[in-house]
Amino acid sequence: MPSPSRVIPITANDFSQAGDARRQALSLAIATGFDELRQGQLNIVVTEAARNIAKHAGSGEIVLTPWSYEGKTGIDMLALDKGKGIENLSSAMQDGYSTAGTPGNGLGAIARLSGSYQIYSVPGNGTAVFARVLRTGQDTESETRPYRLGAISTPIPGESVCGDAWGAVHTPERSIYIVADGLGHGPLASEASEEAVRVFRQFAPQSPDRILNEIHGALTKTRGAAVSIAEVFPQRRILNYAGAGNIAGAVSFGGKTRSMVSMNGTVGHVIGKIQQFSYPWEPGSALIMHSDGLGTRWNVEQYPGLTSRHPALLAGVLFRDYCRKRDDATVLISGI
């Protein structure tokens, strides 16, 4: 089960926050099984990203997300800001480059120490930096694999556990995803969403509507949840979707975004007839799923070129721009 993300605010010239980000990264790295070498690499990545935000953007966030799926384990870092953006991205990527009159380690060092690294920056509209550091002994992630995934899941401010949860299961022919939002927040909401993901994994070979029916039965002993499940067959170019409650689901392709249908109700308590809907899936599409901790007025087309980057960047930008910060928030993006 993926652990909740950690969000560390960064403000101008407060380098103690970079230290806090580094300490939280170290704590996650140890818990995730990183050896000292990978711990050190992650520390440098996070410290440089935090300092860059403080120097150049004025304020922003570091988001750290530990994950383990498909035989790999790692920690994703997103550095998110709404600053002035980067005018000369190719120069900024070089080790030693600085626009602040200080020693420039920055983006070049982050790229060098990461298994996967991408950046999205629009002058005047901020920057998002994605870096993935894999656990000891694992190969650098290949971006030619048949799926790519990025997710953020954070508790409501003041809570230590997240009432949302997500999961993914991949085979060569098929990928299937779940986002669950336990009713309310806190430990009881977390219990409901985690049970939903547990049942999802148990019945993952089934279709989304059948899995949702199994989850509905299992969640009767909990406070219930909103749950949506998406199943993608890339070669058949089809996506099947079933959901109940206020999990948003959409497919973005070719400059257009299509929302998917979710039924009313609370899984585990009262829902109508479970229905599954099918949608076309084209190569290069992006699957977008999120809980109601994110607003729904986003438009992927306002971020030119972003859907062609690693899905974690789109997850980060939507989180940066649309997180309500008064509820648990989860966003999952996958490109296949």
Q: Would you list the domain boundaries of the chain?
A: 6-134, 148-335
Mean pLDDT of the chain: 90
Q: How confident is the model at residue 12 (pLDDT cuts 50, 70, 90)?
A: confident
Contact 57, 83 (CB under 8 A): yes
pLDDT (tens digit per residue) in 83-135: 999 876 665 655 544 444 433 467 888 999 998 899 999 888 899 999 999 99
Q: How confident is the model at residue 265 (pLDDT cuts 50, 70, 90)?
A: very high
What is the predicted pLDDT for the residue at 146?
47
Architecture of the domain spanning 6-134: 2-Layer Sandwich (3.30)
The mean pLDDT value for 129-142 works out to: 76
Strand (E) positions, 107-245? 116-121, 127-134, 148-154, 164-170, 175-182, 225-233, 238-244
pLDDT (tens digit per residue) in 210-226: 999 999 999 999 999 99
Q: Which CATH class is domain 148-335?
A: alpha beta
Q: Is the pLDDT of residue 196 over 50?
A: yes
The mean pLDDT value for 309-327 works out to: 96
Which residue would you say has higher pLDDT here, 188 or 92?
A: 188
Distance CA(1)–CA(173), nearest Å, equals: 23
What is the predicted pLDDT for the residue at 106?
76
Contacts of 133 (CB under 8 A, 6+ apart): 34, 38, 41, 42, 45, 74, 75, 77, 113, 114, 115
Structure tokens belonging to residue 28? 């996650």
The residue type of 201 is R
Rg (CA), the chain: 19
pLDDT (tens digit per residue) in 270-298: 999 999 999 999 999 999 999 999 999 99
The mean pLDDT value for 228-249 works out to: 98
What is the predicted pLDDT for the residue at 216?
98
What is the predicted pLDDT for the residue at 240?
99
How many helices (H) and strands (E) the chain has is answered by: 7, 15
Least confident of 49-53, 86-90, 180-184, 304-308: 86-90
Report in angstroms the alpha-carbon separations of 134 from 32, 76, 78, 317. Answer: 10, 9, 15, 22
Least confident of 15-29, 248-262, 303-317: 15-29
What is the predicted pLDDT for the residue at 17?
87
What is the predicted pLDDT for the residue at 72?
86
What is the predicted pLDDT for the residue at 103?
38
Q: Is the pLDDT of residue 186 over 70?
A: yes
Contact 327, 292 (CB under 8 A): yes
Q: How confident is the model at residue 143 (pLDDT cuts 50, 70, 90)?
A: very low
Q: How confident is the model at residue 144 (pLDDT cuts 50, 70, 90)?
A: very low
Q: Is the pLDDT of residue 252 over 70?
A: yes
